[in-house]
Structure 1
Amino acid sequence: MERFELLPLLREGVQVHYEGSIDKQGGNADWDWWLYQEGSEWVIFDVDGPGCIYNFVQHRYPESEEPTFSFYFDGEAEPRFRIRHSEFGHKAPFTAPLADAYMGPDDNGRGPIRVVRSFVPMEYARSCRITSDIRLKGAAKGDGGWGHVIYHSYSTAEGITTFTGHEHLDNLRDTWNRTGEDPKPAVPVQSAVTEQFTLRSGESVVLLEQQGAGSITAVLAEMNTTLPDIAFNAPLNGFPRPELQQIWVRATWDGHEQPDVECPLGAFFGNELGYNRIGLISHGETEQGMLYQYFPMPYWTSARIELINRGEKDIAFARWEICYTTEYNPLYPKGRTGYFRSSAYYPSQAAQGTDSIIGRISGRGHLVAGQVTAFSRSMGQISCEGDVRVHIDGKLTPQVESDGSESWVNYGWGFPTPPEMNPSSAYDGLPDSPWSMVRLCSGDVYPFRQELVFGIESGEYNNQYLRHSGILFYYGVDEQGMTLTDELDIGNKASEGIHHYRTSGSRGYYTLCACYEGDQDDVFITDTGHETEGWSEFVVSIHPNNQGVRLRRKSDQMTGRQKAKVYVDEALVQERSWYVADRNPYQRWLDDEYEIPALYTAGKDHITIRLEYVQAGETRAWNEFNYKVYSLHRQNYTK
């Protein structure tokens, strides 16, 4: 987070995860957040293995009983930190601007509600657990159980020092206090400046044409337009500032056949509506009206940036400035650095009974920002209940999910008080509708090795008419970062024989008909699997040039706290156990993953996996229905 200039570097051994208050039955009751009770504490987050928490959020009525959160690291018996709900933003290490509180509106007597949030990065080498001294539940006044944690898991603990609270975060806090200024270190730059010009309908203009290696450090723009008067009771038929839709930015790196970035002006600068100024540390609009984009954009042979007027009106600009440098070239080795790219722009449209797919990205890389705009049929209509759902690398279980649209940008109670902003997220619009939200993921990037699909519901369960539009920004390359090299189908005798599947302590086979969480929760799948209170073992094929192996298990999450030790060729994987603390007795299918470091797999074309059940909490067995085996790599394997 502190070194914004390193954002383009591709991630190795990193996955993003979500834990929070999602309605287990797929409705809108997203207000119960607890995994299990231990003594007098309610555990709300529990993971094994190295990782880092990047985002902690909890919504609570101030009149409700106040929870105290305890943070345990690396198996400690006593918490390293305790903090009350009202202390976020004031008590170290959870101090502003990296932690604060948002107070929502009164909402006809139901509110106000206090949303506390932390972006303090908290690494741990072995494990982490967060508890509350009261059960977080309910939506009525006096309760309030909404919340989430966004975190990374690491395949190894190499270079990880467990968070103490005494880390020197002054530079990061200083950066977050200077929203609107370039968050990267000052280096010598050159500038391509275009001033006082009019872009006529159907025309385009090249703002930058550069040969050789370098990186864009800033894209700055000033417009000669003002916001027209808005009829507040008029139907919502279009965007209030059409120029933010009709002017498109196109960027092409290294002579690629397809543009790397291509989107409307509003999406490029983080606000498609433009009612008010909003700005993050990455992109937005300053108080003086300057539009800015500070994401580093490396290239190795050429860079071209142009504007296109796709509308019917001529648009006047006061100034465009593109800053670029060669100073960062040593930081960006080709093959381990991603191009700055956008997903295909998702134009304003209403999906019928299914999630709006804002972006679908293929290849390998990591998401760093997303922007979504929504229009309901009339102004002021509540339109915030739809969850964001992100699927990564073909997993049927969402990897990231939010309890409402506004929760993805760390706010609560809808979008009632625009504009709202903090250095990492913001929204603009009119009260409740329309709204345009933007989220920066500078620490909690969303890595993917094959694909990333970003969707959002329309209403509580896709039961509302909403027109969504939006875009994703990411760093990526075309080549995928993992290959499916084997698959074991439990219950299929041929597959079990091929993989030398055997088990001890068997509790037998059983057949389950259930659905996954997310947009496919109305699709029921029947499969046969096995459960054991001892161990299971099987042999799988992998690529000898692997950079590690990822196992994906299809399992039944009827009970939580399923846990197993993992052995590879009789060697215990020391970095973590395979542990899933959450459960869902209603939507029972779960795709969960375990990443084996290359230390155990490099140079081998097959490995023997043994999973040894460990009793934890309510579980009585380890269940398994299918295993997919992926060999990880940085570049495509040659045949």
Structure 2
Amino acid sequence: MRMTLWVARAGFLLTLVGVSACESGPPPTGLEAPSPAVDAIGLAELTRLDHLARFKRSVKVGAFSSYDRTGGNDDGFSGAYSFIRQDAEGLVLAELDGPGAIYRIWTPTPTDDVFAFYFDGEDEPRLEIPFRQLFTGEREPFVSPIVGYGAGGFYCYLPITFERSIKIVARAETLQFYQINYALYPDDVELGTFDGYAAPESRALLATAVELFEAAGEDVSASAAPAGVELLTERTSVSLAPASSVTLFETDQGGRIAGLRLGPASAFAGKVRDVIIRIFWDGDEQPAVLSPVGDLFGYSWGDPAMRSVVAGTAGDTNYLYLPMPFDESARIELTSERAEGPPLDVEVEVVWTRIPREPDEGRFYALWRRENPTIDGEPFTFLDTQGRGHIVGAVLQAQGFESAQTGFFEGDDQAILDGELVIHGTGSEDFFNGGWYNVTGRWMSRVSLPLSGCLDYNNALGRSAGYRFMLTDAYAFRTSARLTIEHAPTENRLPTDYASVVYFYSEERPTMAFELPGEAERRVSGPDRILFRPGWSVPIDSFSFRGMTVTKVQEPIDGVDTRYLEVRVEGEDVFGPHSVGFRCELPEAGTYAVSIEALGGPDQATVQLFRNERAEGQAVDLFREARQPVGPLRLAELEFAEGENAVLLKLSGTNDRSSGQGVDLTGLVFERVP
């Protein structure tokens, strides 16, 4: 029987009519995969995903960045390390001998200072461009979405190639954060030096790259297989019972998977992480892909969140378009570790071709890891392996153990490739092309860009998550690779809960263990005590119709720099006592004890929590003869829903000795009641 498939630009919809199907016939006689390894360098690497499986011809990859050379956290704030040297023209940011290419430029602090790019020892720069215009899409050939911005960061993926050398100079007195990723190649590789991509063939390649970057959430499986080959599409519907496994796809001949679509995505949502995907290649008894299903597709604490070009969720379907070549066999399995409950009805599509793995290609691997807690004094490890290959992506869910504290995201990423530290980042969200966590409009909410994005940020829950995929800027290694990220501004001393998926290609089986902890150790955990700080970025749901001012203030209180929400009122509101409401997101439904933290003082009011115009719990008098921190002061115990909840506080009265009717609110505390 058959099932029909509808693919639209807005997403992917899978409609099941039957059990399984296979479309297309055998490949034409003599069909062979092309192997233009030399051509798949530079701009060509942005045009097709099938290039990702090929081993990189580079002899070295690395990055220049503004990281603090002393081991501190001044990774660009002061600009002290935001150059490698100074000359008469300005700040030299990068200097390399080629042949090579600049593949990624990132910053959260663009300026209008001019960047000068000198090529091949020339006396005059071939390219002069304001720093900001590398990312805005207003200056060709730096076109969107090959360049762009979002989640607080600005990125440029337009390859800037050079035959003999490159020097990048910022004509500026100071600069803040930056990262410049590069690759260097053997002398026999002819890259050509950047010429603005003015030739017709270059313009055509750039247009193809733009089309691919704009296709996030669409079916790009044809790009993940060699050009011109005929693709097979196998569609299957299975019922996955608790405590059982099912095979989604299996073949005993060589080929390559160009697309995997699995739905409904909602079936894999939730906090338990109890449905596991395993993919096996070439008779290996150990899986090459091992992950909870949702996390492989970029779920954020159990919620579908990612929509990149190569992986994510569109509509109610998960997708993966990283090419997966194999020599002689492949098998995809799902396992449910649920003890009870109804079966999961799962729909799967596998797009593949009978073109086996080429000698210059690696096998695809993806590994889920969790450290809960992270190791004191050691960074979190995405991958630590021996052999030859390249890293093409990473997803991270990071959660602290203290509410309203995400300082662990100050930690830097580091890549040690072939025994050498070649990439040192400037902050965790920077690795994911973002910037400025806990700042409204920046790394503060879910944002999906073609290759990177913010999966979530929730200060009250101590959560921050991101993803990044690497096409041209893949981390290639010949003998070993270790990719880590710190979980504190310095020294890795903040205990945290980190969970990741790393995507990579390897010539041989990775030496890092592919193991999953038990179900209880995989489960998403939420804090029992949740602190919302209105002086920062807690959404205000409502406040009085008239006579109220709300101001965010920062000042030292008892020697401690304190942020608070200052509420001041005059007269009466239209509908009675003055009020201010907040939107508070909770990780689970249940009963919570609600308290407030505030600055008591001689002009403070009495506060009470209201729901549906009913006073709940007890009123709290914030009057104190001298200004001082008070609380937490219990307001009430109430049932709350998972997700966003409206919490309304009313200024219900005034102490006889109070000179005003104000509230200086430093915190709203929710504590789970067993």
TM-score (norm 2): 0.62
1:464 to 480, 487, 494: 494
Q: Deviations over 1:266-323 (max 9, x none)?
A: 331123424453211110111x121100011111211100011234454754543242
The AA in structure 2 aligned to 1:190 is L
Q: Distance in 2 between matches of 1:91 and 1:318?
A: 49
> Aligned in 2, Cα 1:246/1:121: closer, same or farther, shift over 3 Å?
same
Aligned pairs for 1:273-352 within 5 A = 273-275=301-303, 277-286=305-314, 288-312=315-339, 314=341, 317-326=344-353, 328-329=355-356, 332-333=357-358, 335-343=359-367, 345-352=369-376
SS state at 1:5 partner: helix
> Aligned in 2, Cα 1:282/1:379: closer, same or farther, shift over 3 Å?
farther
Instruction: Give yes or no for contact 1:17–1:152 (8 Å, CA) kept in 2.
Output: yes
Q: Distance in 2 between matches of 1:226 and 1:309?
A: 12
Q: Distance in 2 between matches of 1:119 and 1:208?
A: 35
The AA in structure 2 aligned to 1:163 is F
1:75 to 118, 121, 130: 121
Q: CA deviation at 1:456?
A: 1.0
Q: CA deviation at 1:127?
A: 1.0
Partner residue, 2:148: 100
Partner residue, 2:194: 163
The AA in structure 1 aligned to 2:417 is I
Q: Distance in 1 between matches of 2:191 and 2:265?
A: 49
Q: Distance in 2 between matches of 1:171 and 1:327?
A: 25
213-222 or 77-86, larger mean C-alpha shift: 77-86
Instruction: Give yes or no for contact 1:51–1:153 (8 Å, CA) kept in 2.
Output: yes
Partner residue, 2:542: none
Q: Deviations over 1:1-21 (max 9, x none)?
A: 222112111223432101010
> Aligned in 2, Cα 1:103/1:192: closer, same or farther, shift over 3 Å?
closer
The AA in structure 1 aligned to 2:99 is P
Partner residue, 2:112: 66
Structure showing greater radius of gyration is 2
Partner residue, 1:401: 424
Aligned pairs for 1:233-632 within 5 A = 241-243=270-272, 245-275=273-303, 277-286=305-314, 288-312=315-339, 314=341, 317-326=344-353, 328-329=355-356, 332-333=357-358, 335-343=359-367, 345-383=369-407, 384-395=409-420, 398-414=421-437, 416-432=443-459, 433-461=462-490, 462-478=492-508
156-165 or 47-56, larger mean C-alpha shift: 156-165
The AA in structure 2 aligned to 1:27 is G
SS state at 1:94 partner: coil
The AA in structure 1 aligned to 2:196 is G
What is the count of residue pairs matched by the alignment?
441
Q: Distance in 2 between matches of 1:442 and 1:451?
A: 20
Q: Deviations over 1:138-190 (max 9, x none)?
A: xxxxxxx0111011111225231112112320000010011122435365333
Q: CA deviation at 1:242?
A: 2.1
2:63 to 6, 13, 18: 18
Q: Distance in 2 between matches of 1:175 and 1:267?
A: 24
SS state at 2:92 partner: strand
Q: Distance in 2 between matches of 1:322 and 1:400?
A: 37
Q: Distance in 1 between matches of 2:144 and 2:374?
A: 38
Q: Distance in 2 between matches of 1:324 and 1:34?
A: 46
Instruction: Give yes or no for contact 1:271–1:438 (8 Å, CA) kept in 2.
Output: no
Q: CA deviation at 1:102?
A: 3.2
Q: Distance in 2 between matches of 1:378 and 1:430?
A: 15
Q: Distance in 1 between matches of 2:217 and 2:365?
A: 21
1:219 to 246, 257, 260: 260
CA-based RMSD: 2.4
Instruction: Give yes or no for contact 2:99–2:186 (8 Å, CA) kept in 1.
Output: yes
Q: Distance in 2 between matches of 1:96 and 1:345?
A: 34
Q: Distance in 2 between matches of 1:196 and 1:135?
A: 63
Q: Distance in 2 between matches of 1:350 and 1:251?
A: 28
Q: CA deviation at 1:358?
A: 2.1
SS state at 1:225 partner: helix
Partner residue, 2:164: 126
> Aligned in 2, Cα 1:95/1:85: closer, same or farther, shift over 3 Å?
same
TM-score (norm 1): 0.65
Q: Distance in 2 between matches of 1:100 and 1:250?
A: 35
SS state at 2:458 partner: coil
Partner residue, 1:172: 209
Partner residue, 1:636: none
> Aligned in 2, Cα 1:103/1:215: closer, same or farther, shift over 3 Å?
closer
> Aligned in 2, Cα 1:313/1:399: closer, same or farther, shift over 3 Å?
farther
SS state at 1:75 partner: coil
Q: CA deviation at 1:460?
A: 0.2
Identity of aligned residues (%): 26
SS state at 1:284 partner: strand
Q: Distance in 2 between matches of 1:283 and 1:3?
A: 15
> Aligned in 2, Cα 1:347/1:479: closer, same or farther, shift over 3 Å?
closer
Q: CA deviation at 1:126?
A: 0.8
Q: Deviations over 1:246-266 (max 9, x none)?
A: 211101111013211111113
Q: Deviations over 1:476-514 (max 9, x none)?
A: 12289xxxxxxxxxxxxxxxxxxxxxxxxxxxxxxxxxx
SS state at 2:53 partner: coil
Q: Distance in 1 between matches of 2:451 and 2:170?
A: 26
SS state at 2:102 partner: strand
Q: Distance in 1 between matches of 2:265 and 2:363?
A: 31
Instruction: Give yes or no for contact 2:456–2:465 (8 Å, CA) kept in 1.
Output: yes
Q: Distance in 2 between matches of 1:259 and 1:276?
A: 24
Partner residue, 1:86: 132
253-262 or 22-31, larger mean C-alpha shift: 253-262
Partner residue, 1:8: 53
Q: Distance in 1 between matches of 2:456 and 2:231?
A: 35
Instruction: Give yes or no for contact 1:372–1:438 (8 Å, CA) kept in 2.
Output: yes
Q: CA deviation at 1:405?
A: 0.4
The AA in structure 1 aligned to 2:245 is S
Matched, 1:205 2:246: yes
Instruction: Give yes or no for contact 1:54–1:150 (8 Å, CA) kept in 2.
Output: yes
Q: Distance in 2 between matches of 1:211 and 1:322?
A: 18
Q: Distance in 1 between matches of 2:51 and 2:289?
A: 19
Q: Distance in 2 between matches of 1:36 and 1:297?
A: 43
Instruction: Give yes or no for contact 1:198–1:314 (8 Å, CA) kept in 2.
Output: no
Instruction: Give yes or no for contact 2:249–2:350 (8 Å, CA) kept in 1.
Output: no
> Aligned in 2, Cα 1:73/1:471: closer, same or farther, shift over 3 Å?
same
The AA in structure 2 aligned to 1:54 is Y
Instruction: Give yes or no for contact 2:300–2:456 (8 Å, CA) kept in 1.
Output: no
Q: Deviations over 1:104-140 (max 9, x none)?
A: 4xxxxxxxxxx33201112111111111111334xxx
Q: Distance in 2 between matches of 1:224 and 1:366?
A: 29
Instruction: Give yes or no for contact 1:251–1:261 (8 Å, CA) kept in 2.
Output: yes
Q: Distance in 2 between matches of 1:199 and 1:171?
A: 43
Q: Distance in 2 between matches of 1:345 and 1:60?
A: 32
The AA in structure 2 aligned to 1:387 is D
Partner residue, 1:530: none
> Aligned in 2, Cα 1:408/1:314: closer, same or farther, shift over 3 Å?
farther
Q: CA deviation at 1:444?
A: 0.9
Partner residue, 1:183: 220
1:149 to 159, 180, 184: 180
SS state at 1:430 partner: strand
Q: Distance in 1 between matches of 2:237 and 2:221?
A: 25
